[in-house]
Amino acid sequence: MAHFDPNARPFSHKWMNERLAVDTLKRVLSTEYWIPKNINFLWAMGMVLAATFGLLLISGIFLLMYYIPDTKQAFDSVNHTIMGEVGYGWLWRHMHGVAASVVFLIIYIHMFTGIYYGSYKRGRELIWLSGMLLFVSFSAEAFSGYMLPWGQMSYWAGMVITNLFSLGSLDWQGLVEWIRGDYVPGQAFLGRFFMLHVLLMPLIIMALIVLHFGTLRIPHVNNQDGEEIDFEAEAEKWKAGLRKESKVIPFNPVFLSKDTFVLGIYFIFYFYLVFYHFEFAMDPVNFDPANPLKTPPHIYPEWYFLWSYEILRPFPKDPGLVAFGFAQVIFFFLPFLDRSPNVAPANRRGLFKFWFWILLVDMIVLTIMGKVPPVGIYTKIGTVAAWTFIILWILLPFITKAEKAVRGHK
């Protein structure tokens, strides 16, 4: 039976502790959640992502007050009302658009940091998998949001992407029409993507963020050497006052203060883009209202989807879809395709070093080739890059199986 002191002042520390265990919560979630000392600024990307999600949520709330999910009014509610009439409406829109683009840059940095340091192995598999679910959810959130201004690129990207669900020669037009709620994108389509964007996907994302944090709690974050740290023993050292000798620091306030510093730098970069270079996140084609009777000459996705779009493009219809599907799911399997027990930076891991850097360069090449028109030499480079991507993933289990144990690994 819990004990409640009848003399405790309401909302005093003691009163709160008896009812909510605030001291225990604070200890478990922050002051005694241990982070290794041996990390660098790349370990701050998680907090940068959380903060960017916060920016998207806040700017989105303000946009939602004036946006109208109606095919006849949506375009003007964004480009006329929000941009021209609402006080500081332009700020929320540019913050939202720029954050939606930048969040993917940080996600890719966060992912490749994890791949480089092997932070998806030895108890950290669920961190990787929940992170990949977040990546997919953010992709769905970005795509559904891109539909809402109902410009030419919204409409035709919606047309092309939903057409993919006809699954090539299977020709499942019924499924495509079911997803759209119409034969072509229309009111039913805009209404349901609006719902997905402002309610269902954000709920899923918030739940997944909690799960992602939860998966970190027991294995703890990795460190620059992949060293297996005895977190209990190191924490005892810290608590005994041996702060210099201990290999760990508490999440709050020590790690968080470093995180906050990186966040400060990040916000300078982010707001520079919002105020001076927002146009990179605003495709000019989308400033024409949606017109079902006129296709834009080139339909291309936002930059963060270009690499997977380019894997679709160089192949004939059906193999292209298979390659595209492969690219969408293969990252999920990374913890199981990497057969080496080594948790170490890629540069100390033999052939994996080359695998990592070739993959990174290949995805940058795919991104660039996805943007240029599919003609001449570009088609050839795109085809080679797409095959390189597929072959790299097929090779991964073999080269990691043959990998020698890294020295110093227990």
Partner 1 sequence: MSDRRDFFGKVLGAYAGLGALGALYAAKRTWDPLPSVKAAGFTTLDLSGLEENKLYVEKWRGKPVLIIKVPKNAKPDTAPNGNDKNAYEDPRLITVGGHKFMIVIGLCTHLGCIPDYFPEKHKFICPCHGGQFNAAGEVLKAPPPSPLVIPPFKVEGTKVVLGEAGPEYKKMKEKGLVA
Q: Residues interacting with partner 1, by CB under 8 A? A: 156, 177-184, 186, 188, 192, 292-295, 297, 299
Q: Is there a contact between 394 and 387 (Cβ–Cβ < 8 Å)?
A: no
Q: Count CA within 13 A, CB hemisphere, residue 35.
A: 19
Instruction: Report the candidate in 340, 12, 61, 45 with the shortest Cα–Cα distance to residue 212.
Output: 45
Taking the complex as a whole, the smallest distance from the CB of residue 166 to partner 1 amounts, in Å, to: 13
Taking the complex as a whole, the smallest distance from the CB of residue 360 to partner 1 amounts, in Å, to: 32
Nearer to partner 1, 11 or 183 (CB): 183
Nearer to partner 1, 186 or 320 (CB): 186
Q: Is the dihedral of CA 380, 383, 386, 388 positive or negative?
A: negative
Taking the complex as a whole, the smallest distance from the CB of residue 209 to partner 1 amounts, in Å, to: 25
Nearer to partner 1, 111 or 179 (CB): 179
Taking the complex as a whole, the smallest distance from the CB of residue 312 to partner 1 amounts, in Å, to: 15
Taking the complex as a whole, the smallest distance from the CB of residue 152 to partner 1 amounts, in Å, to: 12
The structure tokens listed for 169 are 């020669």
**CB burial of residue 31 (10 Å; 0-12, 13-18, 19+):** middle
Taking the complex as a whole, the smallest distance from the CB of residue 342 to partner 1 amounts, in Å, to: 44
Close Cβ partners of 148 (under 8 Å, ≥ 6 residues apart): 67, 69, 74, 78, 154, 190, 193, 194, 197
Q: Is the dihedral of CA 388, 394, 400, 401 positive or negative?
A: negative
Q: Which helix (H) or strand (E) holds 23?
A: helix 22-26
Nearer to partner 1, 56 or 179 (CB): 179
At 244, which amino acid appears?
A: K
Nearer to partner 1, 91 or 167 (CB): 167
Nearer to partner 1, 179 or 321 (CB): 179
Nearer to partner 1, 317 or 407 (CB): 317
Instruction: Report the candidate in 247, 255, 212 with the shortest Cα–Cα distance to residue 231.
Output: 247
Long-range contacts of range 323-328, CB-CB < 8 Å, 24 or more positions apart? 323/386, 323/390, 324/164, 326/390, 326/393, 327/389, 328/136
Nearer to partner 1, 123 or 292 (CB): 292
Look at the block and give the residue holding tokens 């003399």.
7
Q: How remote is the C-alpha of 325 from its chain's centroid?
A: 18
Nearer to partner 1, 1 or 293 (CB): 293
The structure tokens listed for 406 are 């890294």
Look at the block and give the residue holding tokens 């608590």.
239
- Between CA 111 and CA 130 the distance in angstroms is 12
Q: Which helix (H) or strand (E) holds 249?
A: strand 248-250
Taking the complex as a whole, the smallest distance from the CB of residue 178 to partner 1 amounts, in Å, to: 6
Taking the complex as a whole, the smallest distance from the CB of residue 198 to partner 1 amounts, in Å, to: 17
Nearer to partner 1, 257 or 295 (CB): 295
Assign residue 72 a region (left: φ > 0; alpha: ψ between -120 and 50; beta: otherwise).
alpha
Taking the complex as a whole, the smallest distance from the CB of residue 154 to partner 1 amounts, in Å, to: 15
Taking the complex as a whole, the smallest distance from the CB of residue 181 to partner 1 amounts, in Å, to: 5
